[in-house]
Amino acid sequence: MAPPQAPANGGAAGHGGIVNVNGGGVDGGAAPSPSEVESNNGAGGRNGVGNSNGVDGGAAAAANGNGKQRADSRRKNKKKKPAVSPKDKYWTPIDDEEAAAAVEDGGEDGRRPLLFRTYRVKGILLHPYRLLTLLRLIAIILFFIWRIRHPHADGMWLWWISMVGDFWFGVTWLLNQVAKLNPIKRVPDLALLKQQFDDLPDGNSNLPRLDVFINTVDPINEPMIYTMNSILSILAVDYPVDRTATYLSDDGGSIIHYEGLLETANFAAMWVPFCRKHSIEPRAPESYFAVKSRPYTGNAPDEFADDHRRMSREYDEFKVRLDALFTKIPERSDACNAEAKDGAKATWMADGTQWPGTWFDPAENHKKGQHAGILKVMLNHPGDEPQFGAPASAANTLDFSAVDVRLPMLVYISREKNPGYDHQKKAGAMNVQLRVSALLTNAPFIINFDGDHYVNNSLAFRAAMCFMLDRRDGDNTAFVQFPQRFDDVDPTDRYCNHNRVFFDATLLGLNGIQGPSYVGTGCMFRRIAVYGIDPPRWRSDDFKIVDNTNKFGKSMSFINSIPSAANQEWSMTSPPADEESIKEELDSVMKCAYEEGTEFGKEIGWVYNIATEDVVTGFRVHRTGWRSMYCRIEPDAFRGTAPINLTERLYQILRWSGGSLEMFFSHCPLLAGRRLNFMQRIAYTNMTAYPISSVFLVFYLLFPVIWIFRGEFYIQKPFPTYVLYLVIVIVMTELIGMVEIKWAGLTLLDWIRNEQFYIIGATAVYPLATLHIVLKLVLRGKGVSFKLTAKQATSTVNEKYAEMYIVQWAPLLIPTIVVIAVNVGAIGAAIGKAIVGGWSILQMADASLGLVFNAWILLLIYPFALGIMGRWSKRPYLLFIFFVIAFVIVAGVVVAIHVARTGSVRFHFRHSGGASFPTSWGF
């Protein structure tokens, strides 16, 4: 799940100019880390020794307490530092003294090394950024004082609305801005992690065990090729193979996913060794083979070309086999059903037994929402000793004789479904994975993925471990959040899918407080934090890991696994899932009734009864006293797919914004306990209340209707002073944004897209989300329902972004279309009135200023206007032609009405007259 789309600097630039149209109140993310030039394909090569701090491995080790001998070696063999990236030049390290102290003690005190470095924005940008924030706050306060002292307007009812709205906009801007005044960037030291945990005398690794959760539900809306690519990239990740286990949760109980996973496990036997042999990046084959050229970093260049061709053919055949499942399984089932004596229309597995999950022809106990639990171990635990493959032969041209061919454990899960229970969608599936994995592998760390995301950087898991295992605050770190990055988004990012203002600014600000919020996929958790257990810094001397067994359910095996999960050195070998005792336990924890009377969905696991279960779960963990870390590495750790159709994108934002409001009223951050940092509390308040701003914003955007019918209308008198304040506040907002662009490593297009899609969301989506929550609170109805976001399945060379040009009409498009029509009509009406109205030069100037705001609104809604044009949007200039034609038509209508009333029309300017303000009042 991606983050909510909220105002970047506190809302839209409202009528009083206090609102900033900078898109998302949770607007942020992380800029590239300083000197992250060798995190993958640099110094480390295929073994992953690359040091993301731009320092050679020995130097980094010495700097973190690994012996005076290494420190002396560092002084003698000091290497030239790599060039600083332009994105990193505004960041400076702040933990040099601690690193130097580690060199002095030589690691003799047994302390763990520093596994990441910490950076802050240089004063040349940070101080102006804070000063501009303070000056804008002062300007806002003076503006309100002036407005209160001058309560004069042509319509006092609108004056009061604008006062309340502008006050709300000012408060939300402040809530958003203060959380970004101390941005912090942390860079993992991958070389040192490898040296400390991998380079052991016995050749083994001491890295903690890790369970990977993947969730999927529909092989159509979430094309299976994405899910299987995600699994292949995880199986091939650069992490000890005996210390990872992957769990695929198929919430639809589909045999397509099960047999697709079988095909994937078979293909992985070739793909994973191929990745290890040639240091392939990325390790999702669909993405890898789409890259035309990439520097080779493996150790067998002579064999690479032949191996690459062979794997490309194998992958094409693998995809054919996956596609064939959609016809192969029904044909097999029809044949088996024809031979069956009971006349059942079952779905049959390849071994001749009936599929216990959902059948193609739904039947009692075999349909979506009603079927037995299923658990299949596709790949067993591989053991601790390396197993090298076979040399090349006539039957197999791939030489894996020097490659460890073991594969990590792989498990298929489909929990029990029953119509009598609320299955809590993704959150419920995650909690079942939590219990099942505890019984099989019980890794102390968990990382979760959506079915359409894959590992883009094979060192990503190691990067997260740098934060979890660091000696400073690692034990108190509950989760490490990575940014979300997407493939197949159009180059201009028309619908702000990348949301870089959130992932490259706000999350860095939160990183300087208690940590980033949890925003779904690509997040590594400490298992006991998900169990609701207190962090070490808040534990008393008589603390017990399990203080009440009742809240965890009735499975004693599961309850007994909890203390072991608190030990990050836990290295249990998973028991066979087909043993009768463990089989009964696994069946028990997958049942719908297991959670009755427990704290699952409340204080344990992922939170229930809310659309944004990720944000609320992260909030609950922070409220308990844990902190979190933000990790941004190059290349991107994970990548996925995003909806590039306008309607699907708006439905996605509807779910996020509706869930955010639900969280504000049901888990109000302002009322959290004392363990939640005050600034973190402010940030969560901003992240959850931002849709309310749309209530006032819609009034402002529709205000031109008054001008069209009345001709003159003041919202505030005296007008010149009002405009002066307005311009000052808006200009300062943009200046703050320009400084933020610099330290966050954003582009101007990123910032503009964020502003544009905030306005689109504020007109099309946020009012509907607000209405939903009102109905839920007043009528005790349901909140925003979950709608699975359909992803683009395939694209051709000629129509790579074909789905972007498809118009899917839906009611939520209407409000924004009305806003466009009103502002276009206002501009046309102003032109017509200027022709026949006999205005003075001063009146013309006033009107022109008003038209600037209308044009600004149309510019901000420009991506939406392109979206509803369909294939015509391939020629954006047509939109401007349509606007001009619309202006002319409206102006002609105004002139025609005037002629009809007066019988004539005069074109003249008056030389004097009061400065009325005939404008459309866009803001």
How many CB atoms sit inside 10 A of residue 395's CB?
A: 6
Q: Are 524 and 694 in contact (CB under 8 A)?
A: no
Does the annotation flag 251 for ligand binding?
Answer: yes
Rounded-to-integer distance, Cα 77 and Cα 376, Å:
53
Give φ, ψ of 291 to 5 degrees.
Answer: -80, 125
- Helix H or strand E segment including 479: strand 477-481
Give whole-number Cα distances, 412 to 120, 231, 573, 795, in Å.
43, 11, 18, 29
Q: 894-901 — which CB contacts under 8 Å span 24+ positions?
A: 894/828, 894/829, 894/831, 894/832, 894/833, 894/835, 894/836, 895/832, 895/835, 895/836, 898/832, 898/836, 899/836
Does the annotation flag 250 for ligand binding?
Answer: no
Note if 384 is an active site residue: no
Q: 305-313 — which CB contacts under 8 Å span 24+ positions?
A: 306/397, 307/274, 307/277, 307/278, 307/397, 307/398, 308/278, 310/397, 310/398, 311/270, 311/271, 311/274, 311/285, 311/398
- Helix H or strand E segment including 407: none
Does the annotation flag 72 for ligand binding?
Answer: no
| HSE-up (13 A, CA, CB side) for residue 117 | 29
How many CB atoms sit inside 10 A of residue 748's CB?
A: 10
In sign, the C-alpha dihedral spanning 762, 766, 767, 770 is: negative
Burial of 293 (0-12, 13-18, 19+ CB in 10 A): exposed
Print burial letters for 396-422: b (CB count within 10 Å at least 16), e (below 16).
eebbbeebbbbbbbbbbbbbbbeeeee
Annotated catalytic residue within 307, 399, 452, 614 = 614
Q: Where are the alpha helices (DSSP H) in 765-876?
A: 766-779, 814-836, 841-860, 862-867
Note if 614 is an active site residue: yes
Residue-level length of the chain:
923
Q: Are 31 and 743 in contact (CB under 8 A)?
A: yes
Q: Are 575 and 440 in contact (CB under 8 A)?
A: yes
Does the annotation flag 569 for ligand binding?
Answer: no
Q: Where are the alpha helices (DSSP H) in 382-473?
A: 425-440, 460-468
Residue 11: closest CA among 823, 759, 732, 858:
759
Rounded-to-integer distance, Cα 480 and Cα 116, Å:
13
| HSE-up (13 A, CA, CB side) for residue 375 | 26
Rounded-to-integer distance, Cα 412 and Cα 156, Å:
64
User: Hunting for tokens 């409206």 — which residue is that?
Assistant: 890
Q: 347-352 — which CB contacts under 8 Å span 24+ positions?
A: 347/255, 349/255, 349/259, 350/259
Residue 529: closest CA among 571, 521, 537, 242:
537
Does the annotation flag 361 for ligand binding?
Answer: no
Instruction: Report, in angstroms and rounded to the nearest whole number, the Rg of the chain calculated over CA atoms.
Output: 30
Annotated catalytic residue within 56, 211, 251, 399 = 251
Return the C-alpha torsion angle 431, 435, 441, 446, nearest 10. 20
How many CB atoms sit inside 10 A of residue 324's CB?
A: 12
Tokens of 94: 């702040």
Print burial letters for 894-922: b (CB count within 10 Å at least 16), e (below 16).
bbeebeeeeeeeeeeeeeeeeebbbbbbb
- Helix H or strand E segment including 663: helix 646-666
List binding-site positions for Mn(2+): 426, 450
Give the residue numbers annotated as catalytic, written as ranges. 251, 614
Which residues carry a binding-site annotation? 222, 251, 425-426, 450
For the annotated binding site for UDP-alpha-D-glucose, the residues are 222, 251, 425
